[in-house]
Amino acid sequence: MDAVSAKRSPRPRKQKFFDRHDEVIRAAARVFAEKGFRHATLEDIADALDITRAALYYYARSKDELATQCSDKAAEQFNEAVESAQRHQTGREQIVAFFRRYAEIICDDFGRFFVRLNIRELAEPAQIRTRVGQRELHEAVQAMIAAGIADGTLRDADQKDISRILFGAFNGIVRWYRPGSRAPSQVADDFLAIFLRGLTA
């Protein structure tokens, strides 16, 4: 996406670098998700970008470095999803808004990579940063649930369990979702309808 627009409209060099950089880590995320981080090579990523290994080296020196940049990108998107969800009034509205966006993110390159990633694959500092980010994400969702219980839009149940159930069910989407079927936001709506209404006849 960014790359295309970068080609169409000439931009100052710096801007161009960032566009290209975004394109590089997006390609890395796609290759990691397809081949698995373990099997993917820097050559695969260079090939996907149709650039040389040397050119790729200009953007990242190792798989670790690319993986870290991908997971940071995902974290950035998750934080934006939290912030925009928090603008909604009731806890229930916040949960619905957050998981609609969460589904979109994890069905896209960085989010899919992040959900499939075994965090132990990352270099030590990135592991720590990622775990902190995950905890903050879960805490933000638990706060939305608590708000919903407080404002009467959600039933009083264990906030930690509800958050674990929602993240587990949504993260599972990346295992079966294929583009072209339901839109991710539609999957989210269908899932949330089942969660909110329950399975009891």
- The amino acid present at 105, given as its one-letter code, is I
CA-to-CA distance for 168 and 61, rounded, in angstroms? 33
Taking the complex as a whole, the smallest distance from the CB of residue 73 to a second copy amounts, in Å, to: 21
Integer Rg of the chain from CA = 19
* Residue ranges binding a second copy (CB under 8 A): 35-39, 92, 116, 118, 120-121, 148-149, 152-158, 161-162, 164-173, 175-176, 190-191, 193-201
Residues 6+ apart with CB under 8 A from 102: 78, 81, 111, 170, 188
Taking the complex as a whole, the smallest distance from the CB of residue 149 to a second copy amounts, in Å, to: 8
**Placement of tokens 């500092």 in the chain:** 125
Which residue, 17 or 195, is less far from a second copy as judged by CB? 195
Which residue, 55 or 157, is less far from a second copy as judged by CB? 157
Which residue, 143 or 149, is less far from a second copy as judged by CB? 149
Which residue, 76 or 156, is less far from a second copy as judged by CB? 156
Which tokens belong to 145? Answer: 């649930």
